[in-house]
Structure 1
Amino acid sequence: MGVDDIGRRQGLARLLAGGWALATGRAAQAQLTPGVTPQAILVGQVLSMQAGRNEHGAATRQGVEAGVRRINAEGGILGRQLVIRVADDEAKSEQAEALAHQLVADGMFLLFGSIEGGPSNAVMKAAIAKNVPFFAPMAGSPTLRRPLQPLVFPVRAEHRDEFRALLAYGHSLGMRRAAFLQADTEVGRLHLANVQRACADLGMPPPLALPVGGEASDAQITAMVQSVREARCELIFNHGSIGVYERLIRALRQAGLGIACYGVNSGSAQLAKRLGELSHGMLFTQVVPSPWERKTALTREYQADFRAAFPDPEFSYGSLEGYLSVRALAEALRRSGRDLTRPGLVRALETASYEVAGFKLRYTREERIGSSFVDTALVTRDGRFRH
């Protein structure tokens, strides 16, 4: 055997050894990264479905499914199919936290897409405890952004921006005194502080605070109506609690008060439907474009994909937000590259600015902004939302 042959064989051996080591390293990486296989990326979603009784949750889930079908039909995430396992928290925070822990234990790569403030904060708590990214909580709670939560990446704008839009609209019409229906919780008080700051910025007096628990007695509703009357409030808006807010609006109208009633996006379609004629002329903020119009690339793609997946259900804000959120997740995962890891995803998003069908998102090391899009929509006499 000549020297050249020995050299060639040694070189081949080194090449094969290197290739084996590289393949072994990749296999080990796949094993060390929960929820990532050569074929799929597994994602856990804790969602308030309440066995289908939560209309907003059900619509959100349909939007997510429509988005997943598009993503996977286009080849998935760099060749991997996106698989989402859904757990129903029944709108209970403690259950949401327990389910989030279970999904991580079951090997989900990240947590995704909860709705409502309480459950979303509970999922965030589990994500922090397990050092797992939490992408696209569909809630406007300030605690999802401040203080900085390095593992949390919202997509939608927060309630603070919605409050400012509602107050600015009322201020432009000459209204000066506002009432704010808030949850009587730590998060609700943070919302109140944001409303107080927005009023001060607009030169308006401090708002009338109307704190309420999960439920409210008839006596409490009557007392709130009297407080609104005595304070001579000209507009009122809410943070969550659409059941209590519906009762309060009905009581205000029965008392003959013509106060303008506004609302944030959360549960807006459900509230307008429940109120019927009483909702006509109400102003709501929305954190996605009109799902019924075709003015943006996002809504055109959403309508086509949603109708292909679900021939019968109506378009809705909830399903559009779910659709947007999962498509934003897909783009975030692509930016992390083929060798997907949780730290790698966080690093990729720390300085990310990107678009989903023209809808802009931005994250920095100092802020988890996501979108700052806030629009307003009036409820028309035929019960539709006009942007």
Structure 2
Amino acid sequence: MTTSINGSLLRRDFMALGGVTAAAMAMPVLAQPRTLRIGSTFDDSGAEKANGNGNFRGASAYFNAINKTGGIGGAKVELVMADDQFKPDIAKKNALAFQGDPSILAMLNPLGTRQTAAIMETVQDMAIVGPNTGTAGLHKSSPPNVFWIRASYDAEVEKLIRTAVTLGMTKIGIVYPKDPLGASVLAGFQKAMADVKLEPVILATTPGTASTEVEPAAQAIAKVQPQMVVMVLGGIAPLFLKALRAAGGTSTIYGLSISASPANITAMGDSGRGLGFAMVVPSPFATKNELVRRYQLDMAASGWSDYSTPTLEGYANARVLAEGLRRAGAKVTRASLITALDSITGFNLGGMTISFGNGNRNGGNFVDVGVLGAGGRLVS
């Protein structure tokens, strides 16, 4: 079940405000089952729409499935979404609205480094589960109500570099946005390169995460021709790839997980085939994993067949939150849900394991490298 805090009055609210008939007044009042309401603010209309909407759809698929079987302890789960347009100030406003609504128990899948930082500063009395950013600084400094499920970008970059070195590549560069996300990933990149005793051959930048001004970076990289480039770009990744190839750049590209949205993969077309990407969940096509098998079944039951890493990540995050809701019991509150999530250790999703507890809020460490193959399938 999903609703939106943006837009017109919800139908159920209209019904509640309207008059009641005499017949209705004469009927006995029956206790209504409690609804477990979860807030989710993310980009649903801007440059990162594909990632945000993907997370939301995956979470919706899981909650739709459990609602069909009675919900959690007899209570249905309702996702309440709000579009922040990938703007930190709007994300903060949405978070304040959720915080001010006592029926909202937690927040799920906030998207973006600056957006997550704004939300973390704003909301500290309810759980924030599964932020979609791997910025290491946020992972290390977040308050105790934030529960991380995806691995950090530092872990992604380290995996990409070690994979490249194993394949014999030593001339390695990076393209990153000149903003907090880029600064954090650059620091992790430099450490990972030092660990394998290599010096970057080029450090290229774009003006910011959502900036489409990619040509200068593409031309600088094409001039140097590194063997491999770590691509720290989200929604503008296809534009950069097109600009790089147009400039004569032939480097192998390894992108962060945020580069591998369905929209990006479609936009890259044949030029994306063979590109490598870090993955913080298993391949959504790897049915050897129980997590993926259940995800595909629940997505199909909701009428969706667009399997992708963003939808699988949202699905996995929803499963972790649901486990916390189950452990919190029938009288779950914001505080008891935080305590319940903290009790999760060794929780095997069927392909990745989540462990919190004793103040640890970085519950996941899964990182793999996938290659974009035929039909836009990202496989490892």
TM-score when scaled to structure 1?
0.81
Task: Write the distance in 2 (CA, Å) between the matches of 1:177 and 1:118.
Answer: 31
Task: Write the distance in 2 (CA, Å) between the matches of 1:174 and 1:307.
Answer: 41
Deviation at 1:329, TM superposition (A): 0.5
CA contact (8 A) 1:195 1:207 kept: no
CA contact (8 A) 2:323 2:341 kept: no
Asked if 1:362 corresponds to 2:359, the answer is no
Asked if 1:180 corresponds to 2:170, the answer is no
- Give the residue type in structure 1 aligned to 2:342: E
Written as runs of structure 1 = structure 2, the 5 A alignment for 1:154-233 is 154-206=148-200, 208-214=202-208, 221-222=215-216, 224-229=217-222, 231-233=224-226
**CA separation of 1:267 and 1:233: change in aligned 2, threshold 3 A:** closer
Between 148-157 and 189-198, report the one with greater CA deviation.
148-157
Q: Which residue does the alignment assign to 1:315?
A: 307
* 1:161-210 per-position Cα deviation (integer Å, ceiling 9, x unaligned): 11111111111122123222222123321211111111111111146322
**CA separation of 1:200 and 1:315: change in aligned 2, threshold 3 A:** same
Asked if 1:344 corresponds to 2:352, the answer is no
For these two proteins, the number of residue pairs brought into alignment is 345
Asked if 1:249 corresponds to 2:241, the answer is yes
Q: Which residue does the alignment assign to 1:4?
A: none
Task: Write the distance in 2 (CA, Å) between the matches of 1:156 and 1:240.
Answer: 17
Task: Write the distance in 2 (CA, Å) between the matches of 1:382 and 1:38.
Answer: 44
Larger Rg: 1
Asked if 1:112 corresponds to 2:108, the answer is yes
CA contact (8 A) 2:281 2:352 kept: no
Task: Write the distance in 2 (CA, Å) between the matches of 1:51 and 1:333.
Answer: 31
**Gap runs ≥5 in structure 1:** 1-36
Q: Segments of 4+ in structure 1 off by > 6 A? A: none
Which residue, 117, 121, 127 being the options, matches 1:121?
117
Written as runs of structure 1 = structure 2, the 5 A alignment for 1:1-387 is 39-50=34-45, 54-107=49-102, 108-128=104-124, 131-206=125-200, 208-214=202-208, 221-222=215-216, 224-229=217-222, 231-243=224-236, 245-268=237-260, 269-310=262-303, 312-353=304-345, 354-357=347-350, 359-387=352-380
Identity %: 26
CA contact (8 A) 1:124 1:144 kept: no
Task: Write the distance in 2 (CA, Å) between the matches of 1:38 and 1:60.
Answer: 27
**Gap runs ≥5 in structure 2:** 1-31
* 1:89-111 per-position Cα deviation (integer Å, ceiling 9, x unaligned): 12212111101101111221121
Task: Write the distance in 1 (CA, Å) between the matches of 2:337 and 2:82.
Answer: 23
* 1:361-385 per-position Cα deviation (integer Å, ceiling 9, x unaligned): 0113343222211121111244332
Task: Write the distance in 2 (CA, Å) between the matches of 1:158 and 1:57.
Answer: 18
CA contact (8 A) 1:136 1:155 kept: yes
- Give the residue type in structure 1 aligned to 2:44: M
- Give the residue type in structure 1 aligned to 2:123: A
- Give the residue type in structure 2 aligned to 1:67: Y
Matched residue SS, 1:205? coil
Deviation at 1:78, TM superposition (A): 2.5
Task: Write the distance in 1 (CA, Å) between the matches of 2:252 and 2:351.
Answer: 34
**CA separation of 1:334 and 1:144: change in aligned 2, threshold 3 A:** farther
Between 150-159 and 182-191, report the one with greater CA deviation.
182-191
Matched residue SS, 2:115? helix
**CA separation of 1:313 and 1:217: change in aligned 2, threshold 3 A:** closer
Between 206-215 and 330-339, report the one with greater CA deviation.
206-215
Between 200-209 and 298-307, report the one with greater CA deviation.
200-209
TM-score when scaled to structure 2?
0.83
Task: Write the distance in 1 (CA, Å) between the matches of 2:63 and 2:54.
Answer: 14
- Give the residue type in structure 1 aligned to 2:278: T
- Give the residue type in structure 1 aligned to 2:168: G
Task: Write the distance in 2 (CA, Å) between the matches of 1:371 and 1:103.
Answer: 26
- Give the residue type in structure 1 aligned to 2:114: G
